[in-house]
Amino acid sequence: MNRYADLKRRQHEEFAAFPMQFAFSDRQFAEGMAALGLGPTDTDKVYKAPGGGFYRREDGPRLKGMMDRFDRELQEAIAGDETGDGFIYEMFLYELGNYEYDVTMELDETLDALGYTRTDIQADPRLSHALEKARQEVLRRI
């Protein structure tokens, strides 16, 4: 069991259920607008999202609330790990695997994905301990 992976999976499922459409052609845009209950000319009723996404303006506050909650849940889980041996370790272990540390031996992509700098890691003994423990586990598995 990896609590970080579970959190990511749950949040991903919730985000995927949010009424957002993606379009890369006029036909897909018209279909997406219809799926949102709008006509193809109701462009004033949608916000654009990165990657070709769009969603109803009226759903904007709900999306912002969901994203804020996701961040809060992550920060609370990190704060709740007093030693770095629990959630933080699992977070680093997951992301080291996700960014193929076992192949590249580079930490930068993992740290970037988590929003940390090397200075951040050095400044927090829990983060430093958890990262080193996860790094050693990855190396042990090679």
Domain extent listing, the chain? 1-79, 81-142
- How high is the pLDDT of residue 67? 98
Residues 88 and 126: beta-carbon distance below 8 Å: yes
- How high is the pLDDT of residue 4? 98
- How high is the pLDDT of residue 79? 98
- How high is the pLDDT of residue 19? 98
pTM: 0.91
Say which residue the tokens 């695997």 belong to: 97
- Pick out the chain residues at pLDDT < 50: none
- How high is the pLDDT of residue 77? 98
- How high is the pLDDT of residue 118? 97
- How high is the pLDDT of residue 66? 98
Q: Write the burial class of residue 44 (CB in 10 Å: 0-12 exposed, 13-18 middle, 19+ buried).
A: exposed
